[in-house]
Structure 1
Amino acid sequence: MSAVSDHALLMDRIYRWQRRFGIYDATRKYYLLGRDPMLADVRPKPGGAVLEIGCGTGRNLVKAAMLYPEARFHGIDISQEMLAAAEKAIEGAGLGDRVRLAKADAAAFDPQSAFGEKGYDRIFISYAVSMIPQWRQVVAEAMTRLVPGGELHIADFGDMRGLPQWFGRAMIRWLGWHHVTPRTDLFTVAAEQGGRSVEKRLHRGFSWIAIIRKD
């Protein structure tokens, strides 16, 4: 079995019961604190195309589609369990005509075959790079899918250096139990992508947001 298949099975196993009983969204709102600040910065052009990598339960896609009603949205995830939850959320919000989903590996994603899209004005990744083993490859691949002037927005856990040491150590240990690894070199990797990058440190380093603009 390939590493991609192994990761897909792991994600399905982790989230199968959480998403079916509503545990995922009910709990994540208390610590995925960078999601909404990231979405507020996305600001696609009217008529623009937006992709979420690792769309999970569809929470961010629904919120973004409501924030930016003149854009169209696509979401990909490697977990079929999460895609089932996202599809339900999107249909429940009445956004089925503006938000489309596909199962895909973010490190080898072809938007033309999946959605008939050549490139994106905006791509965002919310708390997924900390769970993707080949996350650097995913970031580099996402940059190739942007049109000139497009932006990649990434929100995830930070290094937590501004927080009490005991809390930071406990949080990192707890995240590890859930197969989450904060990417402390996120800003370095973002700066290496060849575009202009912006670093945002929120909540005393608990949350990080990286924005990379493709020239």
Structure 2
Amino acid sequence: MDAIYVQQRHFYDLTRKYYLLGRDRLIARLDVPVGGSVLEIGCGTGRNLIAVARRYPTALLFGLDISEAMLATARANVARAGLSARIVLKQADATDFDAKGLFGQPQFDRVFFSYTLSMIPDWRAALMQGATATGGTLSLVDFGQQERLPMWFRRMLRAWLAKFDVEPRADLPAVLNELGLKTRFEPLYRGYAWSARLTR
């Protein structure tokens, strides 16, 4: 991941805002309780955590990412935003991490994934880690199957995403159901993205 992002991290947020749709919608619907804790798995440049911190000013925020290059950018962005006291960032594998060991707490009020499951080879293990870490809700948004979009668009998007080792997860709804949690699943933008919120 460092090899992929060592250069991309410098312009990642500028380019991704045009096609990582639904991220701000997810943040707006987190409904973080006063003084609540939030974990983002695959936090990248810290863009989402900064947005969460601004929307929920009493929240305690945590982020992990496997790429130390991305975390270097995230730390700089968080410091620039004046949020270093509220956002804790750690390097870890999304498929196998110890939340208590990393952050000093075993669970969080809110856990979320934003366009990360489509990049993690063992994404089911990452999803299970997220479900285990949350004591409240688990939210996610990622590429869908573009089921209500033209075939030419789907083919073009899939070919472009493949260049970045991104693979939309067709069996995501079935895997979510296997977790045994109350699940609200929503296709967004004619299936361009899929969104879900899981509650214990």
TM-score range normalised by the length of the shorter chain: over 0.9
TM-score, with structure 2 as normaliser:
0.98
SS in 2 for 1:182: coil
Q: Is the 8 A contact 2:112 2:130 kept in 1?
A: no
Which amino acid in the other structure matches residue 183 of structure 1?
Answer: R
Which amino acid in the other structure matches residue 26 of structure 2?
Answer: M
Which amino acid in the other structure matches residue 16 of structure 1?
Answer: V
TM-score, with structure 1 as normaliser:
0.91
Aligned residues: 200
Aligned-residue offset at 1:44: 1.2
Q: Is the 8 A contact 1:186 1:210 kept in 2?
A: no
Q: Distance in 1 between matches of 2:189 and 2:113?
A: 19
Give the aligned partner of residue 161 of structure 2. Answer: 175
Give the aligned partner of residue 202 of structure 1. Answer: 188
Give the aligned partner of residue 188 of structure 1. Answer: 174
Cα RMSD, aligned residues only? 0.8
Runs of 4+ that moved beyond 4 A: none
Q: Is the 8 A contact 1:33 1:207 kept in 2?
A: yes
**What do residues 94-117 of structure 1 show as CA deviations (whole Å, max 9, x unaligned)?**
001110000001111111111111
**What do residues 160-209 of structure 1 show as CA deviations (whole Å, max 9, x unaligned)?**
01111101111011101110000111121111111100111111100111
SS in 2 for 1:130: helix
Hey, which of these two has a bigger chunk of helix by percent? 1
Give the aligned partner of residue 57 of structure 2. Answer: 69
Which amino acid in the other structure matches residue 49 of structure 1?
Answer: S
Q: Distance in 2 between matches of 1:186 and 1:118?
A: 25
Counting only pairs closer than 5 Å after superposition, residues 147-166 of structure 1 correspond to structure 2 as 147=135, 150-166=136-152
